[in-house]
A and B are shown apart, each in its own frame.
Chain A
Amino acid sequence: MKAMILKEFRELRRDRRTMAMLIILPIVLLTIFGYAANFTVDSIPTRVIGPGAEQVAANAPDLFDIGEVDTDATTDDALTWMQDNDTEVVIDTTTQPPTAYIDGASLFTAQSASAAFGRMGDQVQVDILYNPDLDTSWVMVPALIGLILTFIGTIITSIGLVKERQTGTLEQLAVMPLKPADVIVGKIAPYFLLASFDMLVVTLLGVWIFDVPFNGNPWLFALGAGIFLFVVLGLGVLISTASQTQAQAIQLAIMMLLPQILLSGFIFPLDAMPTAIAAIGRCLPLTYFVEIAQGIFLRGAGIEALWLPYVVLTGMALFVFTAAVLRFRRDLAPSAHHRAKAKAA
């Protein structure tokens, strides 16, 4: 038995990926997610408008981080800011008593804000926008679509591609007179279509079963999902080029999936994370998709409000997908690559 245990340790020590999963991953998970796992929001971006703005701003509880005090702004301005996600809360003093508009799409922020206003009694009337009952599923379902696309894009795609490498058929494809572009597109297109189909099904189920409202433009949403799919499929291809076996691909995909689940603002609010951890979250594609999906579903936001996540996702898609195609191409047509290099030299 001792020999068996020793042998197992020797093997494990040489299997760097498994070692990483066993030692580094728990430490990273604990430190990063320990900080990130925080449902309590202690600072809510807030604007105050109307004639009594100055006075309300001065007396607002510390929880509300008053960014802008505008005595001239109107209720319409307030609603536009809310839809554009410029702020989480607007206290409107043009009404009597003042009205606090809260963004119900930011679930935990909205819960904290509405509890704080509740403690103030009749001094403020509360209007929770976009998700008046603070229904968890309304916030979760749009974000879940992103998670499902990530799952299909990275895990399923990388497994499919690595299988081809593992069984030796990738080499056969390389020997056939197929253009690398044909192989890459032919290999990825089915996953793109399947993921698109899944997205449609999950969206429809979310709307029918969970009564999640779809207030925005479906085409804008489809565009965002399409761009996001390019990012995650690209990640899947990249994982496959770095893996020799399906087990390795799954390990790598899980390492990419976990931070996206926990740091994308989908479970824990980014606003409640320390700046450094939130900054990691801001580097993850799912963060931007969640912003797009919740914005379109719940707030009915348009491109003028969501251009930033679209631009960031497009940049990520171009970068990741190009890197993935180049690496995959190198596996398929090494001679062409070599000749090009020789020519350049």
Chain B
Amino acid sequence: MTEPLIRATGVTRRFGDFTAVDDVSLTVGPGEIVGLLGANGAGKTTLIRMILGLLPPTEGALALFGEPPSREGRARLGYVPQGLGLWDDLTVAENLAFVDEAFRSRATAVPDALADSRDRLVGGIGLGRQRQLAFAAALGHGPELLVLDEPTSGVDPLSRARLWDTVHDSADAGVGVLVTTHYMQEAEQCDRLVLMSQGVAVAEGQLGDITGGTTALAVRTDRWQDAFAALDDAGVLVMLSGTHVRAVDADEERVRAALGGLAATLEPVTPTLEEAMVARERTAG
């Protein structure tokens, strides 16, 4: 088997008494899209910073292209940080030119979608366009690995779909991808998922493995506020989507008991990623 692009073994990072990442292991192989899931503060970004070599782990071993993270290793990857890492006071074309120069790669073409913004300052173009530019900059030097930290947050669904097309095209060409997200639709597009909660990798596998073990019941009633309050008071994990109440990881009997005399129909449904994540968090906590 070929050496994975990223291999993290029992990686831990502490900041004083606080453990941001606790004994996490992870691999990303060529052509593989690995999703790192978790709520804010779960330790995803800290793990990424360690993989990139920006932050030394307190314990554990990290290999990037089979070596400890180094400048040489980083030259072979493309990174889109949460903050995008673009220079606001440079134009779109100038940003790409600087990145090309830094990676000593041939000139990256301004993406078609950004052609009309070519000479505009990055600070003055919309977030969706900025993300496209950050992708173009990260891919310009033909990286073997893409590291994307919340790559599509704040982007409209159409732009998000376009960005994911780019990710899949890269993966099809053999590029390994590590992507953090908390969107269900994005998690579905990953080959493998690692769910982090409070620094710990609490679940791993495909979407079914993450959501598996979690059950959800749709609670249909006109008095949805009362139902929500009653379930919450009874300590049932309850989620609300619009006026739809859903009870997570609780069987019918318990839900009925919590609802008391309140008239409602119960129907088992497939849990969402968010519900699975919250349920896992609760178990872990």
Contact = CB atoms under 8 A, between A and B. Distances in A.
Interface of A: 167-169, 171-179, 333-336, 338-339
Given A171-B54, A173-B102, A178-B102, 13 more contacts: A167-B83, A167-B88, A168-B82, A169-B87, A171-B81, A172-B86, A175-B52, A175-B74, A176-B75, A334-B55, A335-B53, A335-B55, A336-B71
A177 B69 CA distance: 12
Contacts of A338: 56
B86 A179 contact: no
Contacts of B55: 334-335
B79 A172 contact: yes
Contact of A168 (B53, B68, B84): B84
Nearest to B90: A169
A336 B68 CA distance: 10
A176 B103 contact: yes
Given A335-B68, A335-B70, A177 B84 contact: no
A171 B81 CA distance: 9
Nearest to A170: B85
Contacts of A336: 70-71
Nearest to A333: B71
Contacts of B81: 168, 171-172
A252 to B, nearest CB: 23
A172 B85 CA distance: 5
A260 to B, nearest CB: 30
Contacts of A172: 79, 81, 85-86
B264 interface: no
12 contacts: A167-B88, A168-B83, A169-B86, A172-B79, A172-B86, A175-B85, A177-B103, A177-B104, A333-B71, A335-B53, A335-B56, A336-B70
Nearest to B86: A169
B72 interface: yes
Query: For the complex, would chain A's binding face be called helix, strand, loop or mixed by DSSP majority?
Result: helix
Contacts of A169: 85-87
Output the residue of A169, A179, A335 with the most chain B CB within 10 A.
A335
Query: For the complex, would chain B's binding face be called helix, strand, loop or mixed by DSSP majority?
Result: loop
Contact of A176 (B56, B74, B84, B87): B74
Contacts of A178: 71, 102
A171 B104 CA distance: 19
Nearest to B53: A335
A102 B99 CA distance: 61
A339 B86 CA distance: 29
A172 B69 CA distance: 15
A190 to B, nearest CB: 13
Nearest to A174: B54
A131 to B, nearest CB: 45
A273 to B, nearest CB: 44
Interface in B184-228: none
A172 to B, nearest CB: 3
Contacts of A167: 83, 87-88
B85 A334 contact: no
Contacts of B53: 334-335
A174 B70 CA distance: 10
B72 A177 contact: yes
A177 B75 contact: yes
B88 A176 contact: no
Nearest to A180: B71
B139 to A, nearest CB: 14
Contacts of B52: 175
Nearest to A335: B53
Given A167-B88, A168-B81, A172-B81, A179 B71 contact: yes
Output the residue of B68, B75, B85 with the most chain A CB within 10 A.
B85
B98 to A, nearest CB: 9
A338 B68 CA distance: 11
Output the residue of B53, B84, B104 with the most chain A CB within 10 A.
B53
Given A169-B87, A334-B54, A176 B72 contact: no
Contacts of A339: 68
Nearest to B55: A334
A176 B99 contact: yes
B71 A168 contact: no
Nearest to A331: B54
Nearest to A332: B54
A175 B54 CA distance: 8
A185 to B, nearest CB: 14
Output the residue of A167, A176, A336 with the most chain B CB within 10 A.
A176
A117 B75 CA distance: 74
A171 B99 CA distance: 13
A177 B102 contact: yes
Nearest to B89: A163
A236 B16 CA distance: 29
